[in-house]
Structure 1
């Protein structure tokens, strides 16, 4: 171009804060060092944008923002490769995608400057297109910020009128033609119209006669008439809006009329003709402003909650959309703007809402105040308009325990591997008459009502049943349980049935020695000290020894815990199982013999007693001598066998069994007076047999820390959590776990066997066996240890670590690492 177009723009530059000015100067200076084209382009765009904004009647604050956006709109290009920016040819897709990131980069820089962070969106959107095909968000029409739409025109105009590495510049007229071609597609037509009118009014489309206008001063050497004197300040036509009316001032002679650009929401009639695009107007024209309005219909729906305790109105209001022409200052190119107003109305009146509720069966709990407020102040959303009354929750019955059930012996033993043994002695014991539990009656809830008016019954409360087990009795009303014996209280819960029992517990505060004698107790035993050499402790329940067991025997019907070492001792847990397995077949055989003899003896007794007086014992003695010696002499065999076992585990059945056997031994058999006496003896043996059968499946466990030269037997698990066992025999019907050493001796486990270290480097004789189908797991095992699974055995020849021993599918012994 043969003249400097931007030099024609003499608009006052908006005052910018010093801090921001320094930032702008620094950024532009930095850009100039790399590319003077981009720096000059940013300054030009800012000036063109000022000219367009002035022509469109923007206020000072908007003009300042517009100028700043123009200065900063391309600063994001600083992070893009020069190879791409200055490429002479067409960019490929990847290069173009990279260039497109500059608008977001620029916006990010703006956001980092507190003074102008609110202008980031205008910068970010300056490449959006009016038809919605721009970037980065694809915004369309007036959804694009106004400042962005202005910058887009100024940016494109400067790009077209400046030489670039990839193209030559266009002349001013061709550039304007290109802008006009792209209205409604790339550019806002109102912005383009304002810019073109500004150019025209500056006579810039005829550059040889550039004149200064209202706020536009001609560049030096331009705008001079014939004779060399500046032309007087000629005025163009003006239009403005005040209180919803459009006013027009005609131009001075020979100057252009003011133009109006209509907007959405307002219909403009000029001399009776509707205006659809920019039009020149004069003061003589009849201009009518006709604001538009339309209605968006709404709806009301009734929703009832699933539990029918609430009813809601879903509301979409009737909206009246109306427009008001906004006031605007005098401008040669007046672009009208309208303010939208949305007025909301309830879609249905008060009576209509009540009918909708009634149609849905809502009759109870209606909030009439809320409905009236919705009519007066309608809004979109969901609102509760009726609320039923939920039934009050009943208060369940409950059983209050007067002892700590968490210290139940059974639970203590179950968790013995995880508890502090110091706490084991702190068991809750009760005395005779002590209260154990109180059963509270439930309280019924009150009925409710749903929004339809239907009665909602309350849920039924839970009623607990308090039951008395052994050692416990209930009061006459069944509400209170109390102890009738000393011991350990327990509760067993099965649903609503709570059974309270008291187990007898013997707490021995010191050592078991010659001074105390042996302990035999029907219940659980706790020993605070040691069990000394030659002593024995037996209990029908659990036995806990807080210290050493040396040269002593401990037998428990259930579980054994020894917190100290076991030296030359014998531990037998689950004594019920061991005892019953030994004596059950003996008792059963005796019962079968006696039952067989009873029938024969009864027949003989009835025959003989009819003719002479004779005892039933005489008949039995005769049969024993003549025909049934084996059967009737078996009691002597059983008596000898029973002496080998600790019958205290049988409790009351010990006396029942020994008493019955004693009646049958030797000459005592003659003392049966009648058949009923003998039958009673047989019944006692049968009761003992039934009891033995019932307890023969209960398993006990043993837990200890260390054993030396000892014997350990349990139908359940054996756990050694400590140094380990030395020259000790262990027989377990369950699993055996030793976290320390097992050296010398033998183990049989009915389930799996785990040992941290087995055997010794010296080859101490050690034998480890498990039942068929089970596994032996050893962290470390030394040569010479014999391992056996089922009937398959092997002596290990090497030191192994982390080895698992089991039978493979072919029933061969297999060793593998884990």
Structure 2
């Protein structure tokens, strides 16, 4: 009997399990209250307060959903709470809502050019925050309501704006009318209340050139001003107006910008009233940077070594050729109507040769290049002389305490130079020997060189005193300051052809006929060769343009441009030629036509650009 009852219950349990698996409920069923007579708790919001009623007879406790909002603070027993929480009558529940207070803010803003200050008044109206009333519910969500507070805005005091400007230490002209307008606003606003003083830009001198005769040179295809005599009016000058500096709102001075470079007047011209007048006879030089009258040396025959070294302060014009061993050094331009053979030419401006330069050396605008190399040497010598002077004074103070001071004092300088300043002696000797030829027209250099040769060459025989060291030191400093301030002119070398020669120009180089053969060309700007460059080198900073590079027999020739935005243009490029652009090289092993390269287009579709990269 018991077994049959047990089997019945097992069978009934299996049926019940199968029924649950086959028909699962669509939603979870609510958990029934443990007691049918139970009453659930509830909560609701009334007049911005939370009212909680606990359950009875084991009903459910009410829950509250608290939003994460800065305007609401909900604490249960002192602990801040957010999200869904269970509440009870026994809890100490604090609900605090925070509205936005009415505020008026004042601050300033300075313009980018620092010439004006704006005062900004920012008015923010207040608001009240409350919880929305709700019905009693087992689950209550807190909903925040915000209401703007209508309130009369108190006007901003002008004194408050002025105090703000004073506290921030602004300087300038105060706009009281703007402050008054700003204080009358009932909403936020901004006004420029203080202004600095803008600089007044000056006006450059206006030059009206007098129409003077012009000479045309058909052989050289040149046009230049004719010779003029002393007293000739060159320019009628209308004086400009100097600019006046300004001051920013912090009280600092703003300089008036100088848009136009000042015009340089040479030693061959003077100002007379509002005119610029020739001070001597000579050739007029008139450009945007310089006005001058220079002397001219005209040689009507060929120049040879028998004529000696020609050094001239002005232009040198040779109507014939410059033959073997000749040496010409001019502070202006050198013009040769014939050829140049085995000679040396220095010119501070242009060198123009009508025909061919053979196995010669030519410099144009060379002083700036030489001074660039000379400047570090001068600084080294100045530093050495300062140390020598310091040690000399130290030893002198000790020697003066001796009984034989008069005999020892003259020996201090030689002892210091030979034992402690050997490098200084070497630099002084190098200064004299290395630049003697290049700076033969530099009078200040020649004066320094003569001083070193006469006073410092034999320090054992010629005692050097404190005043001798100071004298040389002062002259070295003055000389260095002068060469650093020298601005180079626009120098040009223009020749028909160059064979086995060296050409160096601070400006451009133009080869106008068949070209260059086994020659070395260096330019600080650009080189243009109409014909061929064979068996030589062309180095420029900006650009090189060549008609034909190399020859069909594979003669090695090269072109180099150093600027990152430089350009190389070659109409016909033969094999075994080298091209270098921005430090990247390419050697050609087959003939190429119309080669064009730019430094800023390397890595494009040009095959040579790809090889350079």
TM range (shorter): 0.5 to 0.7
CA–CA separation in structure 1 for the residues paired with 2:578 and 2:276? 57
Structure 2 CA distance for aligned equivalents of residues 507 and 542 of structure 1: 12
Q: 1:520 to 1:772 in 2, by over 3 A?
A: same
- Answer whether contact 1:633 1:665 (CA < 8 A) is retained: no
Q: State how far apart, in whole Å, the 1-side matches of 2:518 and 2:264 are.
A: 49
In 2, distance between residues paired with 1:751 and 1:680?
43
* Cα distance in 2, alignment partners of residues 509 and 772 from structure 1: 42
Q: Gaps (5+ residues) in structure 2?
A: 1-204, 240-261
More displaced 10-residue stretch of structure 1: 625-634 or 611-620: 611-620
2:221 equivalent to 1:428? no
Residue by residue over 1:393-433, the C-alpha shift from the partner in whole angstroms, topping out at 9 and shown as x without a partner, is: xxx999674844x67xxxx9xxxxxx8554648653345x5
Give yes or no for the alignment of 1:784 onto 2:581. no
- Report deviation, 1:510: 2.4
Change (3 A) 1:755 1:423: closer
Report what 2:373 is aligned to. Answer: 582
Q: Structure 1 residues 639, 469: CA separation in 2 closer, same or farther (over 3 Å shift)?
A: closer
Residue pairs, 1:409-448, within 5 angstroms: 420-422=218-220, 424=222, 427-431=225-229, 433-437=230-234
> With structure 2 as the length reference, what TM-score do the two structures score?
0.54
Which residue is equivalent to 1:702?
493
Match of residue 804 from structure 1: 596
Q: Which of 264, 267, 290 matches 1:470?
A: 267
CA distance in 2 between partners of 1:743 and 1:426 (Å): 34
Of 751, 756, 768 in structure 1, the residue corresponding to residue 559 of structure 2 is: 768
How many angstroms apart in 2 are the aligned matches of 1:399 and 1:750? 35
The whole-number CA distance in structure 2 between the counterparts of 1:745 and 1:569 is: 14
**How far has the Cα of 1:693 moved from its partner?**
1.9
Task: State whether residues 781 and 799 of structure 1, in contact with CA within 8 Å, keep that contact through their aligned partners in structure 2.
Answer: yes
| Corresponding residue of 2:538 | 747
Matched, 1:622 2:415: yes
**Contact 2:511–2:530 at 8 Å: present in 1 too?**
yes
Matches of 1:535 and 1:421, distance apart in 2: 23
The residue matched to 2:578 in structure 1 has which SS?
A: strand
What SS is found at the alignment partner of 2:554? Answer: coil
> How far apart, CA to CA, are the structure 1 residues paired with 2:207 and 2:517?
53
Aligned counterparts of 1:720 and 1:775: Cα–Cα separation in 2? 18
Q: Cα 1:811–1:634, aligned 2, differ >3 Å: closer, same or farther? A: farther
Q: 1:525 to 1:578 in 2, by over 3 A?
A: same
Query: 2:58 is matched with which residue?
Result: none
Matched, 1:568 2:568: no
- How far, CA to CA, are the matches of 1:736 and 1:481 in structure 2? 36
Note the alpha carbon deviations across 1:331-360, whole angstroms, 9 max, x for none: xxxxxxxxxxxxxxxxxxxxxxxxxxxxxx
Asked whether the 8 Å contact 1:474–1:480 carries over to 2, the reply is: yes
2:448 to 657, 666, 669: 657
Residues 1:687 and 2:478 are matched in the alignment: yes
Quick one: distance in 1 between partners of 2:488 and 2:603? Answer: 33
Partner of 2:386: 595
CA contact (8 A) 2:303 2:322 kept: yes
Q: How many residues align?
A: 380
Counterpart check, 1:549 vs 2:340: yes
Name the TM-score, length of structure 1 as normaliser.
0.42
Q: Distance in 1 between matches of 2:308 and 2:543?
A: 38
Distance in 1 (CA, whole Å) between partners of 2:263 and 2:586 is: 58
Of 283, 287, 292 in structure 2, the residue corresponding to residue 488 of structure 1 is 283
Q: Tell me the alpha carbon deviations over residues 267-322 of structure 1, each in whole angstroms, 9 at most, x when there is no partner.
A: xxxxxxxxxxxxxxxxxxxxxxxxxxxxxxxxxxxxxxxxxxxxxxxxxxxxxxxx
Over 3 Å counting, the alpha-carbon distance change for 1:603 and 1:719 in structure 2 is same
How much does 1:523 deviate? Answer: 2.5
Runs of 5+ in structure 1 lacking a partner?
Answer: 1-395, 413-418, 443-464
In 2, are the aligned partners of 1:580 and 1:696 still within 8 Å (CA)?
A: no
Aligned-residue CA RMSD (Å): 3.8
How many angstroms apart in 2 are the aligned matches of 1:469 and 1:696?
A: 13
Deviations 1:177-217 (A, max 9, x none): xxxxxxxxxxxxxxxxxxxxxxxxxxxxxxxxxxxxxxxxx
State the 1:492 CA deviation: 6.3
Is residue 501 from structure 1 mapped to residue 501 from structure 2 by the alignment? Answer: no
Task: Report the equivalent of 1:163.
Answer: none
Work out whether residues 492 and 500 of structure 1, in 8 Å CA contact, stay in contact via their aligned partners in 2. Answer: yes
- Return the structure number with greater helix share: 1
> Which structure has the bigger radius of gyration?
1
Higher share of residues assigned strand? 2
Kept after mapping to 2: 8 A contact 1:747/1:767: yes
| SS class of match (1:504) | strand
**Paired position in structure 1 for 2:406:** 613
CA distance in 2, matches of 1:699, 1:756: 25
Does structure 1 retain, via aligned residues, the 8 Å contact 2:307–2:326? no
CA distance in 1 between counterparts of 2:514 and 2:419 reads 63
